[in-house]
């Protein structure tokens, strides 16, 4: 650790750089639900990989997933495509990577593929310039592994009930290195283990005893995994260890595939999911979140050290970001300056409108603030006055507590207005052909009711859209950059650094000011 820091410090001091060498490996790390304010809050205790990026990287302090439905699938589709959800076709989790024609290998579970993803992504541009380039993408979640690579049939793996798997969209059988890693049975061997605090309890300012956390049970440290190995392999998904297993699997893949060892640039994408699980169950202001972020920091220190051993201090170009932020539990917010906030349920309002329809084949439904119709054309053919139905629904929704505004999709499309972030984020979200009719925005700190007492994201609020964005590598000038940037800027910036041309128009911009002048 000390040696690694010393080498990085020397590299950052610079001196004239030699002829531009492309990186051997581009590494894109997404930390699911990581809010950038955590990095400030815990800064003094971040002595590992996050601390290293904060100190020696280019740190953007006003970065956003600048679209409205801040869910995992839309966010991950944005990061390496350079395009908004309105243009990637991935506008919600529930119409994300699900694909029954692409079953999993070696384990039961929902099939998955990028069939809904439109257009190209960064890896396609890389491969167009270097046909031998390869990519590995790894996550606990299918959507977080699949979408960063767009439609590319590369090495893409996610976690399912104790093992890493993929789907038949990619391959027909699991490669030997994946089977060998699964044979280690690390998740099953976690049975009966404990998640304790990393540091002494006095190092944590947050109260540990909040009875609304984790469904009202097991909300204090230490957290114990079940003694049954199968149950432990599932429960592991809500503990920090899942992220360390994911990083270990990624490194096993890097070694087995020989990424970055063939004289051209390869791509590694890793999405770490436990911050999201902890955020939902315990909230952004919990002691559990504090400990989770510290542990990710330490895991990344190990991981970056391993990459340095393999590629040297000049061989890696690294990006770290998140797919969205999170809004606290209303139970927390009500006692922290936001009295009266709650969860918004509109099922009965939507059901009343559907009951009045003159067709049973089609319906109106709402998903994270987007009101969609199953088929506007069929509803019209059946004699339904769709516009009238929607106007009625909009009027009813506006009367619901917690609803800030209801807008027609046609009134936000094309309105990329900087002065109004909510409308702007919706304009980045919905496409003319996406089936979205109305968009509903909640008041700050309110949540959609999912039926669970959890913290949630998915709104066009700053809480949910603000993300960390950090770059590190010899091509990058370290520093803190305060201008407003977006996750769609990542792909065009990486393309610029590698002298690649995006294969289609992108929504993002090259973050030129942090590119080292010698490059
Ligand atoms: Zn997510």
pLDDT in tens, 224-260: 999 999 999 999 999 999 999 999 999 999 999 999 9
Percent of the chain exceeding pLDDT 70 equals: 95
Q: C-alpha 44: how far from its chain's center?
A: 25
Q: What is the pLDDT of residues 280-292, one digit of tens each?
A: 999 999 999 999 9
CA 462 – ligand 1 centroid, Å: 15
Neighbours of ion ligand 1 (CB under 5 A): 32, 72, 276, 323
Q: C-alpha 443: how far from its chain's center?
A: 23
pLDDT band at 418 (very low <50, low <70, confident <90, very high): low
**In this structure, what are the phi and psi dihedrals at residue 369, rounded to the nearest 5 degrees?**
90, -10
CA 415 – ligand 1 centroid, Å: 26
Which of helix, strand or coil describes residue 371? strand
CA 7 – ligand 1 centroid, Å: 33
Tell me: cis bond preceding 222? Omega within 30 of 0 counts. Answer: yes
Which residues on neighbouring strands pair with residue 321, listed in sequence order?
30, 469
CA 26 – ligand 1 centroid, Å: 22
CA 325 – ligand 1 centroid, Å: 8
CA 376 – ligand 1 centroid, Å: 30
What pLDDT does residue 302 have?
98
What pLDDT does residue 391 have?
96
Q: Which of 89, 85, 96, 92 is nearest to 427 (CA)?
A: 85
Average pLDDT over residues 336-363: 91
CA 110 – ligand 1 centroid, Å: 18
DSSP state string for 233-295: HHHGGGSTHHHHHHHHHHHHHHHHHTTT-SSS-EEEEEEE-HHHHHHHHH-TTSHHHHHHHHH
CA 82 – ligand 1 centroid, Å: 18
How far apart (Å, rounded) are the C-alpha atoms in residues 227 and 191?
A: 5
Helical ranges in 147-228 per DSSP H: 176-183, 186-189
> Quick count: other Cβ atoms within 10 Å of Cβ 462?
12
CA 487 – ligand 1 centroid, Å: 14
pLDDT(325) > 50:
yes
Q: Which of 124, 147, 166 is nearest to 76 (CA)?
A: 147
CA 397 – ligand 1 centroid, Å: 27
What pLDDT does residue 20 have?
67
How far apart (Å, rounded) are the C-alpha atoms in residues 273 and 395?
A: 38
CA 35 – ligand 1 centroid, Å: 11
**In this structure, what are the phi and psi dihedrals at residue 87, rounded to the nearest 5 degrees?**
-110, -20
SS3 content of the chain, % helix, strand, coil (to 5): 40, 15, 45
CA 279 – ligand 1 centroid, Å: 10
Whole-model pTM?
0.94
Which of helix, strand or coil describes residue 444? coil
CA 21 – ligand 1 centroid, Å: 34
**In this structure, what are the phi and psi dihedrals at residue 77, rounded to the nearest 5 degrees?**
-70, -25
What pLDDT does residue 17 have?
44
Q: What is the pLDDT of residues 482-519, one digit of tens each?
A: 999 999 999 999 999 999 999 999 999 999 988 886 44
127-163 burial, b if ≥16 CB within 10 A, otherwise e?
A: beebeebbbbbbbbbbbbbbbbbbbbebbbbbbbebb
Q: Which helix (DSSP H) or strand (DSSP E) does residue 447 occupy?
A: strand 447-448
CA 121 – ligand 1 centroid, Å: 19
What pLDDT does residue 8 have?
42
- How many Cα neighbours within 13 Å face the side chain of 189? 6
CB 196 within 8 A of CB 131: no
What pLDDT does residue 358 have?
72
Q: Which of 454, 504, 505, 509 is nearest to 485 (CA)?
A: 509
CA 239 – ligand 1 centroid, Å: 16
CA 182 – ligand 1 centroid, Å: 25
What pLDDT does residue 233 have?
98
CA 61 – ligand 1 centroid, Å: 20
């Amino acid at each position: 650790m000390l040696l690694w820091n010393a080498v990085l410090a020397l590299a950052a001091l610079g001196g004239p750089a030699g002829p531009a060498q492309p990186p051997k490996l581009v590494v894109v790390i997404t930390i699911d639900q990581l809010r950038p304010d955590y990095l400030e809050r815990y800064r003094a205790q971040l002595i590992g990989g996050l601390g290293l990026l904060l100190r020696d990287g280019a740190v953007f302090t006003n970065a956003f997933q600048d679209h409205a439905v801040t869910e995992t699938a839309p966010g991950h589709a944005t990061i390496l495509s350079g395009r908004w959800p309105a243009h990637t076709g991935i506008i919600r989790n529930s119409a994300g990577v699900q694909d029954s024609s692409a079953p999993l290998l070696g384990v039961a579970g929902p099939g998955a593929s990028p069939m809904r993803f439109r257009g190209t992504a960064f890896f396609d541009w890389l491969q167009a310039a270097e046909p031998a380039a390869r990519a590995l993408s790894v996550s606990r979640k299918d959507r977080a592994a699949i979408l960063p690579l767009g439609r590319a049939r590369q090495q893409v793996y996610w976690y399912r009930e104790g093992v890493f798997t993929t789907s038949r969209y990619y391959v027909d059988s699991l490669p030997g290195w994946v089977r060998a890693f699964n044979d280690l049975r690390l998740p099953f061997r976690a049975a009966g283990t404990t998640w304790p605090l990393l540091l002494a309890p006095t190092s944590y300012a947050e109260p540990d005893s909040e009875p609304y956390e984790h469904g009202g049970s097991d909300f204090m440290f230490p957290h114990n995994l079940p003694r049954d190995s199968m149950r432990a392999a599932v429960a592991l998904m809500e503990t920090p260890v899942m992220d360390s297993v994911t990083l270990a699997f990624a490194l096993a893949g890097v070694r087995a595939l020989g990424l970055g060892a063939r004289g051209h640039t390869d791509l590694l994408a890793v999405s770490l999911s436990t911050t999201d699980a902890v955020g939902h169950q315990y909230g952004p202001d919990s002691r559990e979140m504090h400990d989770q972020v510290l542990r990710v920091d330490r895991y990344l220190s190990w991981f970056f050290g391993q990459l340095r051993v393999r590629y040297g201090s000049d061989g890696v170009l690294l990006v770290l970001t998140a797919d969205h932020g999170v809004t606290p539990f209303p139970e927390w917010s009500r006692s922290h300056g936001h009295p009266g906030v709650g969860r918004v349920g509109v099922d009965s309002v939507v059901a009343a409108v559907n009951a009045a329809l003159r067709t049973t084949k089609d319906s109106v439904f709402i998903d994270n603030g987007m009101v969609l119709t199953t088929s506007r054309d069929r509803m019209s053919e059946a004699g339904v006055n769709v516009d009238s139905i929607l106007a009625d629904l909009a009027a009813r929704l506006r009367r619901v507590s917690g609803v800030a505004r209801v807008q027609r999709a046609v009134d936000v499309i094309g309105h990329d207005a900087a002065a109004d972030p909510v409308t702007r984020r919706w304009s980045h979200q919905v496409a003319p052909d996406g089936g979205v009719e109305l968009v509903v925005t909640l008041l700050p700190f309110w949540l959609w009711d999912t039926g669970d007492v959890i913290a949630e994201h998915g709104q066009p609020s700053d809480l949910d859209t603000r993300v960390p964005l950090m770059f590190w590598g010899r091509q990058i000038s370290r520093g803190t950059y305060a201008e407003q940037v977006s996750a769609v800027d990542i792909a065009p910036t990486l393309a610029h650094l590698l002298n690649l041309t995006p294969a289609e128009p992108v929504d993002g911009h090259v973050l030129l000011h942090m590119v080292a002048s010698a490059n």
